[in-house]
Amino acid sequence: MLSTIDILARMKERLGSYYKVAQELGVHPNRVNQMRHHGGKLTFEQGLIAAKFLGVSDESIILSLAAERSRNTPSFENLARLAAKHTTNFGALASVFALAILASGELLTNPTVSSLTESLTQMA
């Protein structure tokens, strides 16, 4: 499950600043600051913008945001479980791409590495 803070942090990693995150989301920088420090949540529309930017499925973001909003309710566990099923394992994907960079041309010819890459890509 991706929380608002996780989503904003991942966007900042790619863009370099929260100011640029605010621009990408079409909100004032104070809104991003409010989400980061005072418990604000991304709207579903902002979540869809983030999903497209991060290359994450719309379902993953919407389910994660719905779970985040339902915290302390009976439906939280079910929504969090569904969100986890749809959330890409970014750490595993990053490891595969790091391996690809190190292995360079070997990636396409090594059946084990190729199979692992395909499996992780299908998880996304």
For 71-110, the pLDDT digits (tens) are 888 888 877 888 787 765 555 555 444 545 455 454 455 5
pLDDT at 25 over 80: yes
4-86, CATH topology level:
434 Repressor (Amino-terminal Domain) (1.10.260)
Average pLDDT, the chain: 79
The pTM of the full predicted model, rounded to 2 decimals, is 0.65
Q: Which residues of 13-47 are buried (b: 16+ CB within 10 A; e: fewer)?
A: eeeeebeebbebbebeeebbeebbeeeeebeeebb
Domain ranges of the chain: 4-86, 91-123
CB 106 within 8 A of CB 100: no
- pLDDT for 1-14, tens place per residue? 889 999 999 999 99
